[in-house]
Structure 1
Amino acid sequence: MNGKNFRKKIDQLWIDLNNSVDQINRSNNGIVSCAEEILMETDSAIRQLKELLRSYQFADWSEEIYFFKTIKPKFISLYIYYAKVLSIESSRPYSDPEVLKSYYRSERANLLHFYNEHKDFMTYYRRKSTYLDKKYFVRFKFDFKLKLSPELYSYDEEFSTSHDHLVSQILANDLLEQFLAAKINSGEYHGHSSDAIKSIEWTAPKVALTEMLYALHLTKCFNGGHADLAEIFRWAESSMNINLGNYHKTLAELRLRKTDRSKFLSLLQQNFNQYLDDLDA
C-alpha cells in the first residue's frame, strides 16, 4: 500500500466513524446507551486503523510522527472520552440539583490533577513544539529518562509510542471539560426555566449553516480551536432545533459548485459591509 492510499483509507475511516457517532447521538436512547454504542463503533474503527498500519511502512520519521502525534490520538481520544462519559453518567446520583452539581464539579476537579501531573508535556504539546517529537512519537524510541506512562509496559509496541496515548488523553479531557462545564452550567441548576427563553431557529437554508460552521471550525473559533467538528454540529443542531443531516456529504456538494463555493459567506460579508457603509453615509 502506498502513502496516498494509506492516508485515503484513514480519512474515510475517520469520516465513517464520525457519521456513526452523529447518528447515534441523534437517537433518543439516552446518554448511557449512546456512549456504549459509540464505544463499540470506536473500538471497531481503532482495530481497523491498527490493521491498516500493519500493512504499511512509513516512508520516514516525519510521517510516523504525524501518525502517532495527530492521527491515532483522534481515534483513541474519542474512545477515552465516551468511556469517561459512560462512567460518569452511569454512576451519577439521583438527587437534587445541588448534589448533582457538586458531583459534576468533583469530576471536573479530577481533570486538574491530570493537568498538573503532565504540565510539562501539555505545555510542549499545546505550543506545537517539535524538538522532542522523535523521542515522543517514534516507535521503539523510549527514553527512560523522560517521564513515561506507568501503563507503558502493556502497550503494543507496533501500535504505540511513549507519548501518543498522553496526547489522546489530553484531547479526551478537553472534550470532557466541555461536557462537564455544560452539565454544571445547565439551566436545570438555575432558578429560571429555560422554556422562558425565546427559542431561536435557523430559517436560512441548511447548506448555509453548514458552510458557516465549517468556516468557524477551520478558523478555530470554538474552545481555542480544540472543539471537535462533530461536537460543533451537534451543538448547533441542539441550539437551533435543526437537523443538518450528513454534513460531510454537504461539504462534498459545496466543493462541486462551479462558482463561488462559499456563497453564503460572501453574502454575509457583502451585507455587513453594506451595513457599515450605510452607517457612514
Structure 2
Amino acid sequence: MEKMIRELQEEMQAGLAGLAFENPVKQAREAVEVVFAVIFKLKDLALSYTFADKDELIRFHKEFKPLFVSELYYYLQRYRLESERPEPLKLQKEHLGKMIKRAGNWFDDHKAYIKYVRSGRTDRDAEFYLPGYQDKLYTPIFSFDRDPAFCSARGQEAALLLANRRLLAEWGKELAALKKSSGGFLGLPKLKWTFKAIDLVELIYGLYLTGAINNGKAELKDIAETFQQIFDVKLDNYSFTFTQSIHYRKSGSIRFLREMIEAILKKLDELDGK
C-alpha cells in the first residue's frame, strides 16, 4: 500500500509542478483538477485493495488519504483567495485577514478533535477512521466523501487540519508582507493617483494599444490590475469607461495624454533653452 501511495503522491506533485505560476487564479484552478484526478485514482485503489487488517485500513484514512484531500482543500482556498482578491492594497489586507480568520475559526470549532490528535491518543481511532460511517450530522465537503466505503467519521477533519495549518502559515506571512509595505506596492513607496480615474484609464489603454508592455503580449486586464495596485485605486469597468466616456467627450480628444505630451514638450523646451 505505501509504495502505491508514494507513486500517487509523485504523480500529483509532478502534475502540480508542471503548472504555470504567472496567473495564480489559473494555477489554483488547474491544481484542483490535478489533485481531483489523483484522488479518484486513490479511491479506486482503496476500494480494490485488500487491507491486511483494521490497523492498515485505519492508517489509510488517518494518514494517507488526508495527504491528498488536504492538497485539494488547500488549492480550493487559494483559488478563492486569488479569484476574490480586490485590487486596492488596503482591501487586499482586509480580504486576506478575513480568510485567515475563517481558517482560524475552524480550529475553534474543532477543539476536541485537535486535542485528540495533538495528544497522540489512538483509543478512538477505530471510531474516527474506519470507513462506513453514516451520521445525519456528517456533512461531506467533497463528492467522493459521500461514498460510505471511502469516508470515515474524522477523515475529513484530518485533511482540513493539515490544510488549514498550511494556509494559516502562508497567509500569515503574506499579510505581514502586505502590512510591511505601508500601503505601497511590493514594498515600494506609497503612491496615490490624484487625477480622475478616466485619466488613468487613458494611460493604461495607451500602454496597451502601443504594445509597450511585454512586447505587446500583456493583457489589458493585467496592466489595469497592476496600475490599480501600484496606485491603490479602484477602476470600475475601465473598458466601459474608455469606450463610452472618452468616446463621447465633446472635445473628441484624449485630454490626459495630450496634457502629458504638452508637459513633456514644455520641459524639453526649458532644458533646450538652458
Q: Which bracket does the TM-score occupy, shorter chain normalised?
A: 0.5 to 0.7
Is 1:149 the counterpart of 2:138? The answer is yes
Name the counterpart of 1:54: 47
Match of 1:166 among 157, 160, 170: 157
Contact preservation (8 Å) 1:17, 1:41 = yes
The answer to whether the Cα contact below 8 Å between 1:43 and 1:79 also exists between their aligned partners in 2 is yes
Partners of 1:59 and 1:151 in 2: CA distance: 27
Aligned to 1:21: 16
Shift of 1:187: 5.3
Q: Secondary structure at the match of 2:149?
A: coil
Cα deviations by residue, 1:10-30 (Å, 9 ceiling, x for unpaired): 211111211221232xx3431
For residue 105 of structure 1, what is the aligned residue in structure 2?
Answer: 97
Which of 37, 42, 67 is matched with 1:74 structurally? 67
1: CA distance, partners of 2:139 / 2:48: 29
Matched to 1:175, the amino acid is R
Unaligned runs of 5+ in 2: 190-274
**Aligned equivalents of 2:56, 2:188: Cα separation in 1:** 51
Q: Deviations over 1:162-218 (max 9, x none)?
A: 11011111111111112211220125742487589xxxxxxxxxxxxxxxxxxxxxx
In 2, Cα distance between equivalents of 1:7 and 1:49:
12
Greater C-alpha radius of gyration = 2
1:186 counterpart SS class: helix
Inter-CA distance 49–162: structure 2 relative to 1 (3 Å threshold): same
1:148 Cα deviation from its structure 2 partner:
5.3
Q: 1:187 and 1:109, CA in 2 relative to 1: closer, same or farther beyond 3 A? A: closer
Q: Kindly indicate whether residue 11 of structure 2 is the aligned counterpart of residue 11 of structure 1.
A: no
Q: Which amino acid in 1 is paired with 2:139?
A: P
Question: Which residue of structure 1 lines up, in the alignment, with residue 120 of structure 2?
Answer: 128
Alpha-carbon distance in 1 for matches of 2:187, 2:67: 34
> What is the distance in 1 between the residues matched to 2:107 and 2:138?
14
CA distance, structure 2, for counterparts of residue 131 and residue 10 of structure 1: 25
Alignment check: 8 A CA contact 1:148 1:162 kept: no
Q: Show CA shifts across 1:100-134 (max 9, x none).
A: 11211111111222111110001111222211101
In the alignment, the residues of structure 1 paired with residue 178 and residue 100 of structure 2 have an alpha-carbon distance, to the nearest angstrom, of 18
**Aligned mates of 1:176, 1:28 — CA distance in 2:** 18
Structure 1 residue 58, shift from structure 2 partner: 1.1
In structure 2, the partner of 1:34 is: 27
**CA distance in structure 2 between the partners assigned to 1:126 and 1:132 by the alignment:** 14
Alpha-carbon RMSD: 2.5
Give the alignment's TM-score, normalised by structure 2. 0.62
Q: Which amino acid aligns with 1:85?
A: R
| Alpha-carbon spacing, 1:22–1:127, altered in 2? closer, same or farther (3 Å) | farther
Which residue type is aligned with residue 124 of structure 1?
Y
Distance 1:71 1:104 in 2: 30
Q: Provide, for residues 226-261 of structure 1, a one-character-per-residue CA deviation record: whole Å limited to 9, x for no partner.
A: xxxxxxxxxxxxxxxxxxxxxxxxxxxxxxxxxxxx
- TM-score, normalised to structure 1's length? 0.60
Structure 1 runs not aligned, ≥5 long: 1-5, 197-281
Counterpart Cα distance in 1 of 2:105 and 2:35: 27
Aligned match of 2:131 in 139, 142, 155? 139
- AA at the equivalent of 1:140: G
Calculate percent identity across the aligned residue pairs.
24
User: Where in structure 2 are the equivalents of 1:170-189 lying within 5 Å?
Assistant: 170-186=161-177, 189=180
Structure 2 counterpart SS, 1:158: helix
